[in-house]
Structure 1
Amino acid sequence: MAYDAEDTRRRIFEAATAEFAEHGLAGARVDRIATAAKANKQAIYLYYGSKEKLFAAILRAKLEEIRVSISIDPDAMAESVGQIFDWYREHPELIRLLLWEALEAGDEPESEQEFRAGFREKVHHLAEGGAVRHLPEETRVRAAQDLLFTVMGLIAWNFAVPRTCRIVLDEQTDQDALARRRRTVIEAARRLASTPGVQG
């Protein structure tokens, strides 16, 4: 059978995503990634250069995935938030990767600029309608930025600390807690999006 470089890269990427989500950058082991990917360690260094560069590549890809997969309709905020909540529930590795990145990885100014541009696009879309429509043009973008980040926090924290979520809500299972939180977050987003006093 001929060597399939793209399939090897895909297997490495998937194995490394699971490894980094579980152990972080410092705790991840290249040999475990290689074993899980059914690849040799040399292939990992050949394709990605280092463990740090592999982590950065995965984080960039995951952030890009969420950027293109998720949109917020400024006139249907609650429905959009429900969809985003479901996306996070189906991709729990993203929150873990972001938490590890905040704890362990340094700044990457180049990739940061790339993602700033992507989020600016979402913010401008949000600024065209919904809760910030009535604001003066010079404050509308900042208000939309604050609204977007607030909504992201309302969603993400549920998946960052699932045990705390379950305990605080006094639910027996993570599933029960998340179902309850989904309803609550959607309602909170609906109220935020309909509040005429939202300011930047």
Structure 2
Amino acid sequence: MAYDAEDTRRRIFDAAAAEFAEHGLAGARVDRIATNARANKQAIYLYYGGKEKLFAAVLRAKLDEVRISISITPDAVAESAGQMFDWYQEHPELIRLLLWEALEAPCEHEEGERERHDGFRRKVHHLVEGGVGHHLPEEERVRAAQDLLFTIMGLIAWNFAVPRMCRSILDEESDRAALTRRRDTVIEVARRLAASPEGDRH
């Protein structure tokens, strides 16, 4: 059978995503990634250039995945928040990767940071063009949309970052019951934030 470079890259990526989500950057082992990917360590260094660069590539791809999959629609912010909640529930590895990045990853390469910034900037301008902060002076509209986007992301992400706390505070019997309740709450809060002129100022 001929060597399939793309298939090898995909297997390395999938194995690395699972490894980093479980163990973080410091705890991840290239040997385990290679074994689970059914590849050799040399292929990892050839395609990705080492563990740190592989971690950055995995995180960047996961962020691109959610960016492409979910769009914050200005006239349907609450519904968009519900879709984003569902996406994170189906892909819990992204929250774990972001937490590991915050805890132990070195400063991201300038190019990767710029790509992330540009992606969120496009979402913010989409919100502004859709009318978010329309009652504010022009120079304040972008800030209002940035705050709205980040607040909604925080409302969603915290549920998956601390699931035991979520279940305990809500006094629910299971994670599923807690998340179902939280999804409804997030949607309602997003609806109020998007509709409230006061909310645009924070």
Give me the TM-score of the superposition, normalised by structure 1: 0.97
Alignment of 1:1-200 (within 5 A): 1-108=1-108, 109-197=110-198, 198-199=200-201
Corresponding residue SS for 1:135:
coil
Assess if the C-alpha contact under 8 Å between 2:20 and 2:55 holds in 1: yes
The CA deviation at 1:129 is 3.2
Give me the TM-score of the superposition, normalised by structure 2: 0.96
Assess if the C-alpha contact under 8 Å between 1:81 and 1:189 holds in 2: yes
Corresponding residue SS for 1:42:
helix
Identify which range, 91-100 or 109-118, moves more after superposition: 109-118
Assess if the C-alpha contact under 8 Å between 1:131 and 1:192 holds in 2: no
Assess if the C-alpha contact under 8 Å between 1:78 and 1:189 holds in 2: yes
Structure 2 residue identity aligned to 1:14: D
The CA deviation at 1:58 is 0.5
- Matched residues, number: 200
Assess if the C-alpha contact under 8 Å between 2:124 and 2:145 holds in 1: yes
Structure 1's unaligned 5+ residue stretches are none
Deviations along 1:83-105, one digit per CA (max 9) or x if unpaired, are 00001011100000000001111
Structure 2 residue identity aligned to 1:76: A
1:94/1:10 CA distance change after superposition, 3 Å? same
Cα separation, 1, equivalents of 2:186 and 2:132: 17
1:72/1:125 CA distance change after superposition, 3 Å? same
Cα separation, 2, equivalents of 1:69 and 1:18: 20
Runs of 4+ in 1 over 2 A off after TM superposition: 128-131
Cα separation, 2, equivalents of 1:53 and 1:116: 19
Cα separation, 2, equivalents of 1:163 and 1:103: 20
Over aligned residue pairs, what C-alpha RMSD do you find? 1.1
The CA deviation at 1:63 is 1.1
Corresponding residue SS for 2:201:
coil
Assess if the C-alpha contact under 8 Å between 2:167 and 2:175 holds in 1: yes
The CA deviation at 1:114 is 1.3
Deviations along 1:93-122, one digit per CA (max 9) or x if unpaired, are 000000000111121222111111111111
Assess if the C-alpha contact under 8 Å between 2:25 and 2:52 holds in 1: yes
